[in-house]
């Protein structure tokens, strides 16, 4: 690679190259996390058309009606934008890419007790970063494990071709797409502590199971990035942002779409 690494070790780079994902401990401090807690607790009581549209009267039924995911909070909230451009994360991405990273998307998942997971999928099917690939930085705002619906990853699928997804099981997944793992690979849980960040590339098959707990949220702040040498991305993710907060546009890829279509949007009842 030539240049000195900013955050990661050669061993971590080798792990990412082989497995397609890497957990880095403690990239967010408790002070950072408290600010994220406060920001998204405030957002959870609002309606922000196009970004966060909860049913504030919902009691019982589908907990994701009351706590849907927040899409692109960086577009309306300065704290979210600042943490999308969190320097420890961007430094790790420079090491993984070997060049500057451009921020393309932010999301916040509340994932309350009892809520459905997200079927296995591949991110670059939606972002369509070319040439190169997207990388996700998935930050555990709550500790994530098998019980509260932490993330699942399928090792050794980072160079697996993007495939047209099947239809997911709507009783277990709130999004419609499902990508079947290769025959010899199985999804394994990514066990994470609060403040850990899971990095994975856009071809890696990943998803999550239902939150089976009765009293634990599984909140996560999730951002997607593109390599600075990329020339194309799907329109849903434009504009992108440099580390200094300035916007940049890439050429438009016309297919793709938001990161996983929700069943209610795809198949209205």
| 206 in Cβ contact with 166 (< 8 Å) | no
**And the tokens for 113?**
């007790």
Distance between CA 66 and CA 87 in Å, rounded? 32
What's the pTM value of the predicted model, to 2 decimals? 0.93
Residue range 192-231, pLDDT digits in tens: 999 999 999 999 999 999 999 999 999 999 999 999 999 9
Q: Give 168-205 as a DSSP string.
A: --TTTBSBSEE-PPPTT---EE--B-TT-EEEEETTS-
Is the pLDDT score of 269 beyond 50?
no
- Mean pLDDT of the region 240-252: 97
Segment holding 221, helix H or strand E: strand 220-227
Nearest to 77 by CA among 27, 29, 34, 40: 40
Domain boundaries, the chain: 10-49+64-266
Give the angle subtended at the CA of 235 by the CAs of 203 and 103, to the nearest 5°.
65
pLDDT at 258: 46
pLDDT at 261: 55
Residue range 59-101, pLDDT digits in tens: 778 999 999 999 999 999 999 999 999 999 999 999 999 999 9
Is the pLDDT score of 267 beyond 50?
no
If DSSP states are collapsed to H, E and C, what string results for 132-173?
CCEEEEEEECCCECCCCCCEEECCCCCCCCCCCCEECCCCCE
Is the pLDDT score of 117 beyond 80?
yes
Residue range 7-42, pLDDT digits in tens: 999 999 999 999 999 999 999 999 999 999 999 999
| Average pLDDT value for the chain | 93
The architecture in CATH of the region 10-49+64-266 reads Sandwich (2.60)
If DSSP states are collapsed to H, E and C, what string results for 226-269?
EECCCCEEEHHHCCEECCCCCEECCEEECCCCCCCCEHHHHCCC
pLDDT at 61: 86
Cβ-based neighbours of 247, under 8 Å, separated by 6 or more: 239, 240, 241
């Amino acid at each position: 690679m030539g240049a000195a690494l900013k955050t990661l070790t050669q061993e971590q780079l080798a792990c990412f190259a082989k497995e397609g994902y890497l957990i880095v401990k403690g990239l967010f401090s408790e002070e950072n996390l408290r600010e994220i807690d406060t920001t998204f607790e405030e957002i959870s009581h609002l309606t922000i058309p196009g970004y966060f549209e909860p049913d504030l009267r919902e009691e019982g039924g589908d907990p994701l009606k009351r706590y849907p995911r927040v899409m692109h909070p960086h577009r309306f909230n300065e704290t979210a934008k600042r943490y999308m451009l969190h320097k420890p994360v961007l430094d790790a991405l420079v090491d993984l890419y070997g060049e500057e990273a451009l921020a393309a998307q932010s999301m916040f998942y509340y994932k309350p007790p009892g809520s459905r997971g997200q079927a296995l999928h591949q991110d670059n099917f939606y972002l369509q970063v070319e040439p190169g690939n997207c990388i996700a930085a998935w930050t555990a705002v709550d500790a994530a494990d098998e019980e509260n619906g932490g993330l699942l990853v399928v090792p050794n699928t980072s160079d697996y071709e993007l495939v047209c997804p099947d239809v997911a099981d709507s009783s277990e997944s709130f999004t419609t797409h499902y990508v079947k793992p290769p025959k010899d690979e199985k999804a394994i849980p990514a066990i994470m502590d609060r403040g850990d960040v899971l990095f994975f590339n856009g071809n890696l098959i990943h998803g999550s199971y239902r939150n089976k707990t009765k009293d634990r949220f599984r909140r996560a702040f999730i951002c997607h990035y593109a390599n600075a040498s990329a020339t194309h991305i799907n329109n849903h993710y434009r504009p992108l942002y440099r580390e200094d907060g300035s916007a940049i546009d890439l050429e438009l890829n016309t297919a793709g779409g938001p990161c996983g279509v929700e069943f209610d949007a795809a198949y209205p009842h």
